[in-house]
Amino acid sequence: MTAMLKNLTANPKNDILSGLTVALALVPEAVAFAFVAGLDPLVGLYGAFIMGIITAVFGGRPGMISGATGAMAVVMVHMIQEGNAVGAALDTAIPNLGLQWLLATLIIVGLMQILGGVARLGKFVRLIPHPVMMGFVNGLAIVIFLSQLGMFKKTVNGVSSWLQGTALYTMVGLVALTMAIMYFLPKLTNKIPSALAAIVIVAAITIFAGLDVSTVGSFIRDGGGSGLNGGLPSFQPQILEMTNTISGHWGLVLSTAFLLAAVGLIESLMTLNLVDELTDTRGSGNRECVAQGVGNILCGLFGGMGGCAMIGQSIINVESGGRGRLSGIVAALTLLSFVLFGSKLIEQIPIAALVGVMFMVVIGTFAWSSFRIINKIPIPDAIVLVAVSVITVWHDLAIAVIAGVIMSALVFAWKNATMIRARKSIKEDGTKVYQIWGPLFFGSVQNFNAKFDVKTDPKKVELDFIESKVSDHSGIEALRGIANKYLDSDREIRLMHLSPECKALLIRSNPKWQEYIVDNVDDPRYHVVTDLMDKEV
């Protein structure tokens, strides 16, 4: 039992208290994202519970929190609306057909994500450049901040308007009080999570003082829900008979599934990377992919909204001391207990307290150092950082990360394309030697071709790649093209110090290339490298 507990947590008290804090913060987020997608709040809460418990137990990153997210909710909206419209137009109208389509889609999403984990795609998150990561967290902080501004509105008869007068001042005061407690309490004691203490204190003030403020319950009712009352998630057998209703709409379902799978994995792996940095530990991206997939499949089978890792709640958990799997398990089970037993109590929590907690998350998430270093880093990196931040706010987290990686890759390719050089020398026997320096790949092919003067070169030519590496198929084709030009002009060509992979590809395309390749195994530099590699292996 002790060994099992150690696998779950190194500090049970911290994990339990931080899990309780996260559960309180999960409620309005799950409800809000369910409204964004046009779903019942319970669907969002069930999704947060299922994703939370599965990833907490089986995920690749202890301490990371998963649940219903806005990034995935936005992708779901169009398909859900289309499904509801189709359901209403049928002769025997099917209510909530959009939800049924979503549940079937989540099963496909889960299978795609599991396949991504099996294919070990999780390791590619390690290739994300630092400027992309900084831009991502900055954009995310802005997105979280902007999402909380909607809490400063009230809804009357379906019409939203900004708070004014006493209501606004009360809201701002409670938010400020929450933030002050979270800032100053850790300076006095670290025995309890500051976020949990702030929520409890502010809730007690509003309840006992009888303040008329927006609460979790009023927030749900203003959005069209009836409250948190519900039972356990139940199996949805109707999704096994969805073939007929989806017929003719598979393109929409599959494209939505692909986007949801991509958005979910990118956001989850980026969150994993961020939590790794915060905790100085390393999680398993591939294991997280599989856990996310299993969670989404179960959401489809048991009526949850689906989701992925939640950066805001993960940061709350880590900063509250939650580092083990127990914190995520407690958060998920507590969230379910709210739905089953504690709905009346949770509905009394003021929204202002939760907004204050999220504002502190924003302050902790934003990479303030980016202002200090923006004029000290290379201009392309600064452009990538700003662009990723803007795209994150303007469009989507996943699109921003993909765009940032592509921009960084293009910058890298351009820099390396200009690095290729050719040192030219003449041997005593008249042979001209081109000693190539720098990588030969698709970006440097044009510069590589410009280094040679086939018409005026002597009868014997050597291309020495001891300081270069042919990196891709474009490089091999460029090498083959130059060599053929020399051969077609009745000149002798020798290729020296090619990598084993390059030699194999050249010989495979034409065995005759074997006679033009010189191995030069007596080169002392080659022996040194070979010895080092053998020692490492």
pLDDT digits (tens, 9 = 90+) for 375-417: 888 899 999 999 999 998 887 777 888 899 899 988 888 888 7
Backbone φ, ψ for residue 382 (5° rounding):
-65, -40
Position 251 in a domain:
yes
DSSP H or E run through 462: strand 460-470
* Residue 413 domain flag: no
Output the pLDDT for position 289: 94
155 pLDDT exceeds 80? no
Question: Amino acid letter at 189?
Answer: T
Distances (CA, A) of 410 to 132, 133, 384, 416, 417: 13, 17, 11, 10, 10
Same domain, 444 and 372: no
CB 150 within 8 A of CB 162: no
Does a structural domain hold residue 396?
A: no
Q: Are residues 382 and 479 in the same domain?
A: no
- Whether 401 maps to a domain, the answer reads no
Say if 147 falls within a structural domain.
yes
The CATH number covering residue 505 comes to 3.30.750.24
523 close to 466: Cβ distance less than 8 angstroms: yes
Residue 3 lies in a domain: no
Across 146-162, average pLDDT? 80
**Nearest residue to 333 (alpha-carbon basis) of 9, 7, 15, 4:** 15
Residue 76, pLDDT above cutoff 80: yes
Q: pLDDT-derived band of residue 153, with 50, 70 and 90 as boundaries?
A: confident
Q: How far apart are CA 423 and CA 436, in angstroms?
A: 6
Distance CA 405, CA 415 (A): 15
User: Is 380 found in the same domain as 437?
Assistant: no
449 and 332 in a common domain: no
Q: In a 10 Å sphere around its CB, with 0-12 CB exposed, 13-18 middle and 19+ buried, how is residue 380 labelled?
A: middle
**449 lies in the same domain as 379:** no
Find the angle CA(334)-CA(318)-CA(316) to the nearest 5 degrees. 65
The answer as to whether 458 is a domain residue is: yes
- Statement: residue 203 has pLDDT above 70: yes
DSSP 484-519: HHHHHTT-EEEEES--HHHHHHHHHH-GGGGGGEE-
Distance set, CA 240 to CA 39, 236, 298, 373, 459 (Å)? 20, 8, 13, 54, 74
**Position of tokens 């990588």?**
439
Same domain assignment for residues 314 and 434: no
Question: Which of these ranges, 4-13, 138-147, 308-317, has the smallest mean pLDDT?
Answer: 4-13
pLDDT of 533 > 80? The answer is no
> How many structural domains is the chain composed of?
2
**Do residues 41 and 79 both lie within one domain?**
yes
Q: How far apart are CA 418 and CA 515, in angstroms?
A: 31
Same domain, 136 and 176: yes
Task: Summarize pLDDT for 449-479 with one digit per residue, the tens.
Answer: 999 989 999 999 999 998 888 888 898 899 9
Say if residue 537's pLDDT is above 50: no
140/232 same-domain check: yes
Nearest partner of 437 among 426, 451, 457, 427, judged by Cα = 451
Query: What is the chain's length?
Result: 537
Find the domain containing 291 and state its range: 9-344+351-388
Q: Do 142 and 260 share a domain, yes or no?
A: yes
56 located within any domain? yes
In this structure, the answer to whether residues 185 and 310 fall within a common structural domain is yes
253 in the same domain as 380: yes
| pLDDT tens figures, 255-294 | 999 989 988 998 898 889 889 888 888 889 999 999 999 9
Nearest 10 degrees: Cα torsion 366, 216, 335, 297:
-80
The helix or strand, by DSSP H or E, that contains position 273, with its residue range, turns out to be: helix 250-279
Q: pLDDT value at position 308? A: 93
Beta strands 308-309; 66-67: pairing state: antiparallel
Cα dihedral sign, 318-306-297-304: positive
